[in-house]
Amino acid sequence: MICSAPGKVIISGEHSVVYGKHALVTAVNLRCYSEVRKSTRVRISSELGETGLDFEVHPYVSWAVKLFEEKCGKTVTPDIRIRSEIPVASGLGSSAAVTVSTLAALGLEYGFKLSREEIFELAREVELKVQGRASGVDSFVSTFGGAWLMPEKEEFKFSAKMLVINSGESSVTSEMVARVAELRELYPGVVERIFEAMDSVTLEIKKALERGDNKALHFLFGANQCMLKAIGVSTFRIDGIIAELEKLGIPAKITGAGGGGSILGLIPESLRKPEKAESVDGKIERLGKCTVVTPEFEGVRQETGNGR
């Protein structure tokens, strides 16, 4: 059986969401494919290598197998092949997508079909096992697809074309979350007020996306990025890339934990005309490795045919 699940981007609300504020997250049109076949011993192969159950090299898939066994009450020895369009460790949700697609394919292959709710719950458990702490947003979006206002789980629709640029610096989510927690301890009055402002910005971004208001998005993305910088998660390199994107008329900000990782830009309607896009493309490519993504409304699904 082959199942696939999408990656995600955080449009707004990273870090403040950890303190109960709103976040806007959307699934994107990059998918991870897991092919699961019954076999006589566990084998997991991916771009990370070929292993058996291995909690170092393939922690998410290995925990998915283990928790699936607990759920269905039997031992399984699958041959699992992973193929992913989602760059690993770039803040685009590759871990959640591999977990969700593997759980769904295990269920189908072993005749223990899991509902979406069950896949989400198990994937969230896997995330907790591997990361120690997790908001569950990635697993939710990867399972159900679509764009969501969290924590309400209120779905919204928009069609913006988005640009994700890798800053070339690595981003470690736990380190960035700890850095922000430390600042909040030192300056609670300042940092809490920043989180409150981020919360308002997130709600306004949702409205601006729904009505396609690019002028508002420029202001709101700019304000959001300034606040992310204020809480210490931007870098000189990120600031430079964002300034270049703004010059091109693209509202941009960090997406995910920051300290490196990815930058999200919203490609305005006016730049989608082929002749303009061409002149802009060359300039953008010089900024870093970039991927153009669109919102994806389909979550985990079974693939027909041979996905290899």
**What separation, in Å, do the N-terminal and C-terminal C-alpha atoms of the chain show?**
11
Closer CB to ligand PMV, residue 90 or residue 214? 90
Which one of the spans 13-21, 184-192, 282-290, 294-302 is the region binding ligand PMV (CB under 6 A)?
A: 13-21
Q: Partners of 258 in the beta sheet? A: none
| Known catalytic residue at 239 | no
According to the binding rule CB under 6 A, does residue 199 interact with ligand PMV? no
Q: Cβ of 39: how many Cβ atoms within 10 Å?
A: 12
Closer CB to ligand PMV, residue 46 or residue 173? 173
According to the binding rule CB under 6 A, does residue 150 interact with ligand PMV? no
**Position of minimal CB gap to ligand PMV:** 256
Contact between 262 and 252 under an 8 Å Cβ cutoff? The reply is no
According to the binding rule CB under 6 A, does residue 65 interact with ligand PMV? no
According to the binding rule CB under 6 A, does residue 124 interact with ligand PMV? no
Task: Say whether 205 sits in a helix, a strand or coil.
Answer: helix
According to the binding rule CB under 6 A, does residue 45 interact with ligand PMV? no
CA-wise closest residue to 252 among 296, 298, 288, 199: 288
- One of 54, 79, 138, 213 is an active-site residue; which one? 138
According to the binding rule CB under 6 A, does residue 177 interact with ligand PMV? yes
Closer CB to ligand PMV, residue 59 or residue 307? 59
What gap in Å lies between CA 236 and CA 78, rounded to an integer?
46
- Tell me the DSSP string of 226-270: HHHHHTT---HHHHHHHHHHHHTT--EEEESS-SSSEEEEEE-GG
How far CA 31 is from CA of 115, 140, 155, 165, in Å, comes to 20, 15, 20, 18
Q: Which of 11, 17, 25, 238 binds ligand PMV (CB under 6 A)?
A: 17
Min dist CB 184 to ligand PMV, Å, is 13
What is the x/- site pattern for ligand PMV, positions 74-103, by CB under 6 A?
-----------------x------------
Min dist CB 174 to ligand PMV, Å, is 9
CA-wise closest residue to 99 among 81, 77, 122, 118: 122
**Residues near ligand PMV (CB under 6 A):** 10, 14-15, 17-18, 91, 135, 171, 173, 176-177, 256-257, 261
Instruction: List active site positions.
Output: 138
